Each structure stands twice: as structure tokens, then as C-alpha cells.
Copies of this chain bind each other. A is one copy, B any other.
Amino acid sequence: MKDKQNVFKEENLNAFMGLTKPHWIEARETLQKLLDKSNPTIQNDKDLRERAFVKQSEAQMHVPADIGDYTDFYSSIHHATNVGIMFRGKDNALLDNWKYLPVGYHGRSSSIVISGTPITRPLGQTLPVEGAAPHFGPCRLMDFELEMAAFVGGPPTKLGERVTAQEAGDRIFGFVLMNDWSARDIQKWEYIPLGPFTAKNLGTTISPWIVTIEALRPFVTDNFPQEPEPFPYLKHDDKFNFDIKLEVDITPEKTPVATTVCRSNYRYMYWTVKQQLAQQTVTGCNLRPGDLLGSGTISGETSDSFGSMLELAWKGTKPIRLLNGEERKFIQDGDTVTLRGYCENEGVKIGFGKCEGKLLPAVPLE
């Protein structure tokens, strides 16, 4: 792709993402060759070495793409079931549509920030007492959501064009970690009937390094069994699920000891990202390279693998004990929340880096 070198001079990855999968693979293989210890090209060229590498300690990370549109899905069956049990009881936990389509909603692009950006506890309306008047003030139930998000690649599609799950593989560029910060009490009051709004646009943190699908290939695992069988547009033959270990730490401000409160795994996803992309476009919605598809909170089967404080502390009824002796039902001011992700097998390890943010106290209205 000699005529496409300009994509690497851009401020973000959109132009590179907007090429095709063979281009992405070529770029990856070229880098692998150049970085191989038997290859002298960079190693023996001091000048090139200095131009090619930036010290991690001197690098300022940025959101890697201009995100045109961001969608958040709700595709972990354990998470959806947990939330359903809490709010509707065990018999009605999963809503009727959940196993027929990947439920999702459009999110806010502007408030997606890079790991390290502080998040401010929001003010908003809540309904502390059912049937009474709502209250305005700081959110009291601030939560994280352990998610991963996929960047969409490939040339833009046209309005009216569909991408089926079978075709979607060439359009998933790669993954980052994502913390979909959530103001639970604000969400509960505002979300009927049009969905979450201001409870989610106070900040969404992603990790800076995109791990491409090619890099994840060695960690492909079985898709989650689906019953009923999906409609044809949602079906694909190949495995497109990944064994990605995920962890969440909470580090309080005063006694800064990190406690790992959650150990989950991307493989708990019921719907694959191919199916999510097919759902995104089924009515003809057009894609642009750099679009972001959030997985939804990724919870495993066991209570230590739940991907949010709402579930971990079960709506505040089972507080989590931190290593410094404190308890948490939700996130407190000064807490740093750190998501980590990695793949590991037979000695190969790939890391996603971290996705981190500190919660700052609310700023009152003047």
C-alpha cells in the first residue's frame, strides 16, 4: 500500500481504519518484521531508531480516532439477567426482545475521553422517594461499567446499505477497554421511555491502544450458545468471541491500596461484535470508520465477575470490602477505577494497557 502511506501522517487513526483489512494486516506484518530482533533495519540505524520510538513516559495519549458515532450495546447475558432480577424479579429478568436482537442505544461521542481523564460526580434529578417530587443534587449512586468497545473500520457505507453478521468481520478494526461511567439514580428517573441520556454522557473512558482483530486471533474462543437461533442477518459461521481476561480495581484516595473488585472475561458476551454491527446497520444505518461499538457491561456467572458495582454490591445490599478496610456500595469521591485486560496462552501475552479514571467531587451550581 505504497500509495496509502499518508494515512500514518494523520492526527488520528480514522484514515488508516478507513482502508481495508488487507491494508491493516500489511501494516501489522511490516511492523512485526521491523521489530523482529533478527532485523537490523531499525536496530542498526540510530537516527531511524530515534525517529521511530517515543518513550512511554514522554508520550501523551489521545483518543485514537475521531469517533463519529458511538453505540452502546447490552450484550452480556449475565449482566442483563442480574439487572433484570434486581428490577423486575427472577421470572421476568430477561425482556422478550433480548435473545432475538442485540439491544443497544446511541450514546454521546463528545464525552468519550482517554484513560487518565478525571470524571466529575454529576448533578442531576433523581427520585429518592417513589411517588414524591424529584430531587436535584449530586448523584448518589455513581458506578462504573466494565466494557470493551470495538472500532469500526473499512470505507464508509451508504445510507440504506446493510452489513450482515456474515460480512461484518472485515469491518471490525480492533478493541479497547471502556468504562461506561453511570449515574444509576439519575438514569432510573430519566430513562423512561427513551433510554439512558444524561446518566451516561458525563464521561466514558477508553484505553488508548487499539488491539486489532489480527492480534486477537490466537485467543478466539467458542461463541456463546444462542437459543433461539438468530435471524439470518444475525448469523455467522465462524468463531468471533475472544478469551480476554478483564479486571477492575478500585483505589481509594486516602489509603491508596488497589483492590481488585471484579475478574471477568470478554468471552461471556452472548452477542458477538459481528452481530452487534449487523444490528446497527439492519435498517440501513451508514457506518463511518472510527465509529465505536460498546459491548455493554461484561459480567460473568459468579458474583466476583460482575462488571458493575450495582451487581457486585447487589443494589447496595452486599457492600464490597476493600483491602484498606473500607466498604463500597458504589464509587466514592476520590476513588480511582482502573480496568485492565489481557490475553494469555502458552506463553503469549497481549495487554490492553489500562483504562483509568478518578472520580472528583461534585461541583455545586453557582
Contacts and interface: CB of A to CB of B under 8 A. Distances in A.
Interface of A: 68-69, 71, 74, 95-97, 100-101, 103-111, 113, 117, 119-120, 122-125, 127, 133-134, 136, 139, 159-160, 162, 164, 183, 186, 189-199, 201-203, 228, 231-233, 279-280, 282-288, 291, 360, 363, 365
A95 to B, nearest CB: 6
Given A97-B189, A106-B106, 8 more contacts: A108-B285, A120-B159, A122-B282, A124-B282, A139-B283, A194-B196, A195-B195, A198-B280
Nearest to A87: B193
Contacts of A279: 198
**For the complex of A and B, 8 pairs with smallest distance between CB atoms:** A195-B195, A122-B283, A201-B285, A105-B194, A120-B160, A202-B283, A198-B283, A194-B195
Given A201-B283, A282-B198, A159 B117 contact: yes
A111 B287 CA distance: 9
A348 to B, nearest CB: 37
Contact of A113 (B96, B119, B159, B291): B159
A134 B285 contact: no
Given A231-B125, A231-B136, A110 B198 contact: no
Number of copies: 2
A125 B106 contact: no
Contacts of A232: 136, 365
A82 to B, nearest CB: 14
B104 A197 contact: yes
B288 A110 contact: yes
A127 B104 CA distance: 18
Main secondary structure of the interface of A (DSSP, over half): loop
27 contacts: A71-B197, A95-B192, A95-B193, A97-B125, A100-B134, A101-B190, A103-B190, A105-B105, A106-B106, A106-B201, A109-B109, A110-B285, A110-B288, A120-B159, A120-B160, A120-B284, A122-B282, A122-B283, A122-B284, A133-B228, A160-B202, A160-B360, A160-B363, A199-B283, A201-B283, A203-B284, A233-B365
Contacts of A159: 111, 113, 117, 120, 202-203
B106 A283 contact: no
A191 B105 CA distance: 9
Given A113-B159, A117-B159, A196 B198 contact: no
Contact of A195 (B120, B196, B360): B196
